[in-house]
């Protein structure tokens, strides 16, 4: 395995190519399940790598969003993708020319799927071009970068959304609703395990200048975000410990394994693991006085599997990125919010926790949020 993308794909059955079992609108009570004939969010993808390919394939099943543009620094990829997805040449740009999208009415939004350290500059340029910004997570390499992105998009009057696909995933949504309805009673404890063996030591995810860190900036954010939406609160303190067994592979500033704990206002404690050196870790567990939920896989590309004290979760699988892109279009054009936000402010909250985790490791102390 060479990346989180490979891990999430190989851990569970690939969803690409499965029929769309129901319209993404079914996740939102405010929207009737009927043929859609409203505005379409016209999207350009920036970064034509593995995950960009997955998003592009998933968007072929979207009803509210359409792939219409491409941005890449590799000319051969632009040619290949243009032919595969029937993209007009005038909607294709490289990293030097994409500011010109300002004058292209065919493009409404740009989905930034590049290394973490490149997200901020791209977001600021896209916002300046008066296009909506969708950034893969983490949206920046620290909370300061994330806030700059939020501020720039607000000043430009465009949306800033983050690729939180799990916020649209049916089983995840069902569990959040159960928790909101009090079906687990008073919550006590959450456990999140996110990790895989990173493989290739030369990839950008192990380059601090591009990734901003290591496993925490890639797979660990799933347990951070998951703890927040499973518990339904914002943590008030963080403790963390780092283990590094292969310093020649995981160089200074690139974390291999971090155990971290989050404390919540109600007294719930989360115990989480983020790693690039252990295989097949993709599990969430939440327990309360009246019930529990266990999800494994909890964040893979699907199908997600889970059970509660009431039985197995049976919601149908739909390609996550299809739901995400249709949901984001619905948010932009109809103001319909997913059960957990996917805006820039949500992304900054995760980055503040990541900053606190790194500080806790550096100081050896509990960090107050």
Query: What are the tens digits of pLDDT across the range 298-313?
Result: 999 989 999 999 999 9
Residue 313 to residue 315: CA distance in whole angstroms? 6
Rounded average pLDDT over 115-133: 98
Whether the pLDDT of residue 274 is over 70: the answer is yes
Query: What is the pLDDT averaged over residues 346-357?
Result: 98
Residue 203: CA count within 13 A, CB half-sphere: 18
Model pLDDT, residue 7:
55
pLDDT reading at 28 higher than 70: no
Q: In this predicted structure, what is the pLDDT of residue 302?
A: 85
Helix, strand, coil percentages for the chain (3-state, nearest 5)? 40, 20, 40
Which domains are present in the chain? 4-165 (3.40.50.720), 168-315+344-368 (3.30.360.10)
Cα first-last separation, the chain: 35
Categorise residue 90: left if φ over 0, alpha if ψ from -120 to 50, beta otherwise.
alpha
Return the active site residues: 137, 222
Mean predicted confidence (pLDDT) in 124-151: 98
Is 80 exceeded by the pLDDT of residue 11? no
Q: Tell me what pLDDT residue 19 has.
A: 32
Q: In terms of pTM, does the model score above 0.85? A: yes
**pLDDT band of 14, cuts 50, 70, 90:** very low
Q: What is the side-by-side strand order in the sheet with 277-288?
A: 311-312, 306-308, 291-295, 277-288, 187-197, 269-275, 257-263, 237-243, 367-368
């Amino acid at each position: 395995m060479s990346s989180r993308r490979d891990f999430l794909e190989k851990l569970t059955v690939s969803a690409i190519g499965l029929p769309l079992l129901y319209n993404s609108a079914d996740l939102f009570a405010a929207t009737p399940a009927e043929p859609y004939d409203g505005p379409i969010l016209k999207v350009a993808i920036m970064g034509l790598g593995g995950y960009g390919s997955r998003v592009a394939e998933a968007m072929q099943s979207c009803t509210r969003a359409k792939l219409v543009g491409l941005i890449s620094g590799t000319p051969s990829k632009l040619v290949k993708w243009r032919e595969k997805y029937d993209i007009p040449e005038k909607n294709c740009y490289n990293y030097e020319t994409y500011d010109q999208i300002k004058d292209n009415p065919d493009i409404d939004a740009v989905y930034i799927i590049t290394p973490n350290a490149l997200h901020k500059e791209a977001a600021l340029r896209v916002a300046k071009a008066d296009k909506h910004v969708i950034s893969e997570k983490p949206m920046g390499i620290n909370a300061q970068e994330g806030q700059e992105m939020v501020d720039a998009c607000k000043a430009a009057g465009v949306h800033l959304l983050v690729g939180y696909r799990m916020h649209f995933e049916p089983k995840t949504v069902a569990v959040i609703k159960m928790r909101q309805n009090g079906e687990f009673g008073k919550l006590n404890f959450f456990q999140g395990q996110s990790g895989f063996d990173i493989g290739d030591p030369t990839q950008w995810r192990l380059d601090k200048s591009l990734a901003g860190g290591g496993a925490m900036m890639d797979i660990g954010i799933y347990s951070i975000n998951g703890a927040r939406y499973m518990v339904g609160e914002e943590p008030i303190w963080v403790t963390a410990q780092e283990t590094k067994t292969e310093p020649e592979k995981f160089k200074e500033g690139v974390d291999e394994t971090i155990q971290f704990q989050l404390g919540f206002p109600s007294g719930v404690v989360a115990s989480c693991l983020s790693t690039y050196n252990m295989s097949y870790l993709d599990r969430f567990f939440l327990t309360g006085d009246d019930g529990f939920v266990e999800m494994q896989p909890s964040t893979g590309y699907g199908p997600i599997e889970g059970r509660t004290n009431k039985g197995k979760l049976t919601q149908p699988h739909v390609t996550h990125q299809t739901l995400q892109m249709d949901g984001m279009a619905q948010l932009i054009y109809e103001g319909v919010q997913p059960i957990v936000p996917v805006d820039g402010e949500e992304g900054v909250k995760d980055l503040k926790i990541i900053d606190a985790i790194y500080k806790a490791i550096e100081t050896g102390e509990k960090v107050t949020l």
